[in-house]
């Protein structure tokens, strides 16, 4: 236990140093450092258990409180510390298998928590984190609207004017953009948080697997499934964005996170049905390039594909052979 505590403290201090380092230097470097801030916490969780991840998060939060302010330390504890501990717990959650199944390790007879459900947990946590972020910006809608308007007029106005050929934004333009941003920001925040969390979860998993510390076999990510009620959650959240007040903001956060979950499901479908095809590499590179360049339109098509698979089982119809046994298939394969 003492070894786990020591590992947790070291991982927490490392995460705190990375987080603080992300506040200075070139923009690209800051973005990369901010992106990988949760990585030491995930590594602690995967290699030494979720309690070690929790210890790491608390150690990082304490370090942040001492080096910066107690408020920033509290923010670090809420995100990423506690969510990383929860996701680490789910990744390592297992039980004796009652029979063969997609998440069963045949060699040990152990059933591991399904990847699809981990993604859904990440989506739910992301929606909650985004809503908490909105409440921190403004506990009521008027305060939040003022904060968003300040962000647009002081932070984004120069960039928007530059992209618009130097045309100045008037007060009406700023008001319109602020009102739009008020309802887009929760979804964008949830999506960003979920992307960061799942990227670090995947990267930590690959590092732990390479070092022999990953406690479970590498899962077949391309074959993941969501719970059957997931489309209902997305539909309800989307409809709830039409309601007034903070309810719409919370719904925007949830719908943004679950939309991204279906983008990931759509990508999983493409990875699955292209297995064994000679043109697979070209198709995947082209898809990801299009997703980066034509983000919104392509992501919508991919999300619809992922949503459709839950109803018509596209992957089952293709008859694509499963990956090699042993759980060591390369990521995304």
**What tens digit of pLDDT does each residue of 272-305 get?**
999 999 999 999 999 999 998 888 889 999 999 9
Residue 110 lies in a domain: no
Question: What confidence tier does 166 reach under pLDDT thresholds 50, 70, 90?
Answer: low
What percentage of the chain has pLDDT greater than the value 90?
62
Range of the structural domain that residue 49 is part of? 1-92
Whether 31 maps to a domain, the answer reads yes
pLDDT at 176: 80
Does pLDDT of 178 surpass 60? yes
Q: What is the pLDDT of residue 169?
A: 73
pLDDT of residue 134 exceeding 90: no
Question: CB of 241 within 8 A of CB of 228?
Answer: no
Torsion of CA 48, 51, 53, 57, to 10 degrees: -150
pLDDT-derived band at 330, boundaries 50, 70, 90: very low
Q: Is residue 326 very low, low, confident or very high in pLDDT (cuts 50, 70, 90)?
A: very low
Please state the rounded mean pLDDT for residues 260-282.
94
At 215 the pLDDT is: 92
Number of domains in the chain: 1
Q: Is the pLDDT of residue 113 over 90?
A: yes
With 70 as the cut, is the pLDDT of residue 325 above it?
no
b/e per residue 223-254 (b: at least 16 CB within 10 A): bbbbeeebeebbeebbeebeeeebebbbbbbb
pLDDT at 172: 76
4 with 52: CB under 8 angstroms? yes
Average pLDDT on 120-144 reads 90
Pick from 155, 147, 132, 6: nearest CA to 80:
132
- How many CB atoms neighbour CB 54 within 10 A? 22
327 versus 209: the higher-pLDDT residue is 209
pLDDT band at 321 (very low <50, low <70, confident <90, very high): low
**pLDDT over 90 at 16, yes or no:** yes
- Per-residue model confidence (pLDDT) at position 332: 44
With respect to residue 293, please indicate whether it lies within any of the assigned structural domains. Answer: no
Q: Out of 67-76, 139-148, 277-286, which region has the weakest mean confidence (pLDDT)?
A: 139-148
């Amino acid at each position: 236990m003492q070894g786990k505590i020591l590992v947790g403290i070291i991982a927490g201090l490392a995460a705190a140093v990375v987080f603080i380092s992300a506040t200075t230097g070139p923009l690209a470097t800051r973005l990369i450092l901010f992106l990988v801030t949760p990585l030491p916490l995930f590594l602690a969780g995967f290699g030494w258990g979720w309690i070690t991840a929790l210890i790491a998060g608390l150690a990082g939060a304490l370090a942040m409180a001492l080096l910066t302010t107690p408020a920033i330390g509290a923010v670090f504890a809420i995100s990423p510390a506690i969510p990383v501990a929860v996701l680490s717990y789910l990744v390592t959650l297992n039980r004796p298998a009652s029979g063969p199944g997609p998440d069963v390790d045949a060699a040990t007879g152990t059933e591991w928590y399904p990847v699809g459900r981990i993604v859904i947990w990440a989506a739910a946590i992301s929606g909650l984190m985004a809503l908490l972020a909105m409440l921190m910006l403004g506990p009521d809608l008027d305060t939040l609207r003022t904060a968003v308007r300040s962000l647009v007029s002081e932070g984004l106005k120069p960039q928007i004017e530059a992209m618009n050929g130097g045309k100045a934004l008037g007060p009406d333009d700023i008001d319109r953009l602020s009102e739009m941003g008020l309802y887009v920001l929760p979804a964008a925040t949830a999506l960003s948080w979920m992307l960061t969390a799942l990227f670090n979860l995947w990267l930590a998993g690959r590092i732990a697997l390479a070092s022999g510390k990953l406690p479970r076999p590498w899962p077949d990510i391309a074959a993941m499934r969501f719970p059957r009620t997931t489309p209902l959650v997305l539909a309800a959240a989307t409809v709830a964005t039409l309601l007034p007040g903070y309810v719409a903001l919370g719904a925007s956060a949830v719908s943004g996170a679950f939309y991204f979950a279906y983008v990931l499901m759509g990508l999983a479908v493409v990875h699955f049905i292209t297995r064994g095809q000679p043109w697979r590499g070209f198709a995947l590179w082209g898809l990801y390039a299009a997703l980066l360049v034509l983000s919104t339109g392509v992501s919508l098509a991919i999300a619809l594909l992922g949503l459709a698979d839950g109803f018509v089982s596209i992957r089952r119809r293709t008859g694509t052979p499963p990956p090699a046994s042993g759980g060591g298939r390369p990521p995304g394969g």
